[in-house]
Amino acid sequence: MNFPLYLFIAVVITGIIYVLNRVMTLPKWMNEYLGSFFPVLLVVFVLRSFIAEPFRIPSGSMLPTLHIGDFILVNKFSYGIRLPVLNKKVIDVGDPQRGDVVVFRYPRDEETNFIKRLVGLPGDKIEYRQKRLTINGKQIDVEALGEFSGSQAGEPGLLADMLEEDLSGRKHKILWDEGGNNAVFEFIVPDGQFFVMGDNRDHSNDSRYWGFVEDRLLVGKAFFIWFNYNKGSFNWSRIGDSII
């Protein structure tokens, strides 16, 4: 469902009724049940389109950074101001940086939103072998932190090694599953595109398998966890955490 388009249409229709009611007498039901929603819909539309948009994490591909059931906020202007619905950038604000956690429209189905960590910038040579990431000939440093159990993160069957990875001075946690995929990948990132990976490296459907993310598909930068609810349970400790 193209929610931004439907929201835009709702704003236009209720806005027309709202304005017409100021210059002529409309049926009471039309103003009360349609026109009265215009201010609320307009505020939601502006906030969602230009400031921040909420998303819910449905899978464990970004563990341990993001848990299943996390409700997050995404900064919509980090990478530029875009026209709603058309998603066309009209004002440059900033460029994506290596290490950002980004929401984007899935290249193979642009109606679906994905969230991953931005690993490769345009022109980068990316290698991944024996579960180690190499960027432009430099192997990325990792530090072992012990075991991670998915039982507290919505993935009760997951037991993996947790490590801290240092992407150009930006440290974050990742998972290695010893029984996971040990395939070798090597890419050069094209101009205007990005290479993304999940922090749960052996359980993530990402750029290693379906390619790069074009700049036009970027939705924004994830920055805040405001709630967590999964399978009838609340995890209050997740509320208020920053996303790094």
Distance CA 91, CA 46 (A): 16
CA 244 to chain centre: 12
Closest C-alpha to 34, from 16, 22, 7: 16
pLDDT of residue 84: 87
What integer is the mean pLDDT of 192-206? 96
Q: Which tokens in the block code for residue 4?
A: 């931004």
Rounded alpha-carbon distances, angstroms, from residue 222 to 77, 112, 118, 136? 11, 16, 11, 26
Q: What is the pTM of this model?
A: 0.91
pLDDT tens per residue across span 65-114: 999 999 999 999 999 999 888 888 899 889 999 999 999 999 999 999 99
Active site residue 131: no
In the predicted structure, residue 180 carries a pLDDT above the cut 90: no
Q: Which of 49, 76, 78, 116 does the annotation list as catalytic? A: 116
Q: Are 190 and 122 in contact (CB under 8 A)?
A: yes
Catalytic, 231? Answer: no
Look at residue 79 in the predicted model and tell me its pLDDT: 95
Q: Is the pLDDT of residue 12 over 90?
A: yes
Average pLDDT, the chain: 93
More confident residue, 153 or 45: 45
pLDDT at res. 1: 60
pLDDT of residue 151: 86
Does the domain made of 57-238 have the CATH classification 2.40.30.10?
A: no
Q: Which of 61, 78, 204, 207 is catalytic?
A: 61
| Closest C-alpha to 181, from 201, 196, 199, 195 | 201
189-215: average pLDDT: 97
Quote the CA–CA distance of 92 and 211 in Å, as a whole number: 25
Average pLDDT over residues 136-157: 92
